[in-house]
């Protein structure tokens, strides 16, 4: 059983040594533990420091592509290197490496495909009151969108078995945390969460400038990913609301018309526009649902291609080993 701990990094030369040092060297049931660092175009010595600290693999991306793409690059590389379990952690040493055995335990016991390490948000001292409330509200929204029960959806401390890693496809450029959860929930990937501790803050967050910036980036991501997997629900809801609004305005026009009141032609025009738009949204929903069905077929095909590629690579390694 091979475990690879991947660490997406951007300018983490000061905090990365603490993160790597905290990763356990031995875990019961694990034959190999490797560390893979994904350097997302850092301007400092992140790659050199990773090698100096004993990282087994360092992937350097020349231009910064964002956390989500760096995460996806790391997952693909871990699969190529034969990982049975992939643990993702942050390079700022926020998460405690000693919790890795606890994180991967449900995967060992075949209780989950993906395990999320959840923090006690109320106990995080460097989170402001507003941020704590928004974290809880955002987690509630994502739980509804994904059909899961994860209480800390922004946690980057996660474990994936090989099957789940093959099925997760990240398309966002901002963050993988929300997207992968909604995707996993809608694809019926088995999810579980375990409580974790966090280390003292070594640097302020850099993924977003402030709370408003985070909301501006995360809300469209949630809507986009949920719509990709549940387009009929989204467009039916919008269409029905628009259609009913148009009907309500038309009733108002008819009321005044039969009362003998003149004018109100603007209401009739607005009602007609809304009714037509409502019907169009319903049609868009049907078309989007067909496209979503095609997307599922493409995802299944991509999963099979990835799995076949890994199987061929494993078979080749076995033959080379026998030859030697």
> Residue 200 carries which DSSP code?
P
Q: Who wins on pLDDT, 57 or 197?
A: 57
Rounded-to-integer distance, Cα 246 and Cα 304, Å: 47
- Does the structure show a pLDDT above 60 at 319? no
- Does the structure show a pLDDT above 60 at 321? no
User: Mean pLDDT throughout 237-260?
Assistant: 88
pLDDT band at 25 (very low <50, low <70, confident <90, very high): very high
pLDDT computed for residue 120 by the predictor = 85
- Nearest Cα residue to 236 out of 271, 203, 283, 276: 283
* Beta carbons within 10 angstroms of residue 186's beta carbon: 19
> Residue 55 carries which DSSP code?
-
Rounded-to-integer distance, Cα 187 and Cα 61, Å: 30
7-11, 123-127, 192-196, 266-270: lowest mean pLDDT where?
A: 123-127
pLDDT computed for residue 207 by the predictor = 62
- Does the structure show a pLDDT above 60 at 320? no
pLDDT computed for residue 261 by the predictor = 67
Segment (H or E) for 103? helix 100-108
- Does the structure show a pLDDT above 90 at 257? no
pLDDT computed for residue 16 by the predictor = 95
pLDDT band at 62 (very low <50, low <70, confident <90, very high): very high
263-284 residues labelled b (16+ CB within 10 A) or e (exposed) = ebeebbebbeebbebbeebbeb
**Dihedral pair phi/psi, residue 291, rounded to 5°:** -65, -40
pLDDT computed for residue 70 by the predictor = 93
pLDDT computed for residue 211 by the predictor = 66
pLDDT band at 87 (very low <50, low <70, confident <90, very high): very high
Q: Three-class SS of residue 38?
A: strand
- Are the beta carbons of 93 and 11 closer than 8 angstroms? no
End-to-end CA distance of the chain: 22
Place of tokens 């501006």: 216
pLDDT computed for residue 216 by the predictor = 77
Give me the helices (H) in 230-264, please: 231-258
Q: Who wins on pLDDT, 316 or 201?
A: 201
pLDDT band at 131 (very low <50, low <70, confident <90, very high): confident
100 token code pair: 């890795």
Place of tokens 């029905």: 240
Q: What is the pTM of this model?
A: 0.82
pLDDT computed for residue 315 by the predictor = 65
Beta bridge partners of 37: 7, 58
**Dihedral pair phi/psi, residue 195, rounded to 5°:** -70, 140
pLDDT computed for residue 228 by the predictor = 87
User: Mean pLDDT throughout 224-233?
Assistant: 89
Q: Three-class SS of residue 161?
A: strand
Q: Three-class SS of residue 314?
A: helix
Non-local (6+) Cβ contacts of 323 within 8 A are none
- Does the structure show a pLDDT above 90 at 79? yes
User: Mean pLDDT throughout 40-50?
Assistant: 94
User: Mean pLDDT throughout 104-118?
Assistant: 94
pLDDT band at 85 (very low <50, low <70, confident <90, very high): very high
Rounded-to-integer distance, Cα 20 and Cα 37, Å: 9
208 token code pair: 């977003």
pLDDT computed for residue 135 by the predictor = 76
Instruction: Using alpha carbons only, give the angle 173, 177, 178 rounded to the nearest 5 degrees.
Output: 85
pLDDT computed for residue 236 by the predictor = 95
210 token code pair: 């402030």
Rounded-to-integer distance, Cα 166 and Cα 169, Å: 8
């Amino acid at each position: 059983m091979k475990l690879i701990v991947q660490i997406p990094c951007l300018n983490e030369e000061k905090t990365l040594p603490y993160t790597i040092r905290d990763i356990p060297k031995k875990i019961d049931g694990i034959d190999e533990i490797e560390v893979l660092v994904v350097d997302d175009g850092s301007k400092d010595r992140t790659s050199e420091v990773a090698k100096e600290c004993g990282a087994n693999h360092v992937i350097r991306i020349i231009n910064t592509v964002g956390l989500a793409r760096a995460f996806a690059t790391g997952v693909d590389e871990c699969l190529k290197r034969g990982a049975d379990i992939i643990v993702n952690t942050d390079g700022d040493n926020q998460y405690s490496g000693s919790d890795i055995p606890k994180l991967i335990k449900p995967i060992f016991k075949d209780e989950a495909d993906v395990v999320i390490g959840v923090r006690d948000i109320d106990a995080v001292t460097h989170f402001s009151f507003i941020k704590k409330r928004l974290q809880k509200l955002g987690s509630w929204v994502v739980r509804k969108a994904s059909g899961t029960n994860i209480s800390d959806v922004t946690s980057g401390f996660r474990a994936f078995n090989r099957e789940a890693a093959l099925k997760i496809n990240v398309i966002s450029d901002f963050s993988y945390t929300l997207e992968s959860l909604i995707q996993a929930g809608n694809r019926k990937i088995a999810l579980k969460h375990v409580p974790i501790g966090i280390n003292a803050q070594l640097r302020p967050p850099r993924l977003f400038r402030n709370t408003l910036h985070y909301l501006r980036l995360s809300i469209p991501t949630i809507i986009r990913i949920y719509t990709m997997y549940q387009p009929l629900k989204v467009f039916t809801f919008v269409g029905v609301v628009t259609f009913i609004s148009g009907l309500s305005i038309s009733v108002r026009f008819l009321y005044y018309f039969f009362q003998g009141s003149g004018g109100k032609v603007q209401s009739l025009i607005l009602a007609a526009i809304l009714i037509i738009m409502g019907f169009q949204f319903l049609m868009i929903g049907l078309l989007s649902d067909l496209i979503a069905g095609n997307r599922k077929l493409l995802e299944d095909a991509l999963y099979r291609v990835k799995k076949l590629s890994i199987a061929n690579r494993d078979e080749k390694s076995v033959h080379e080993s026998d030859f030697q």
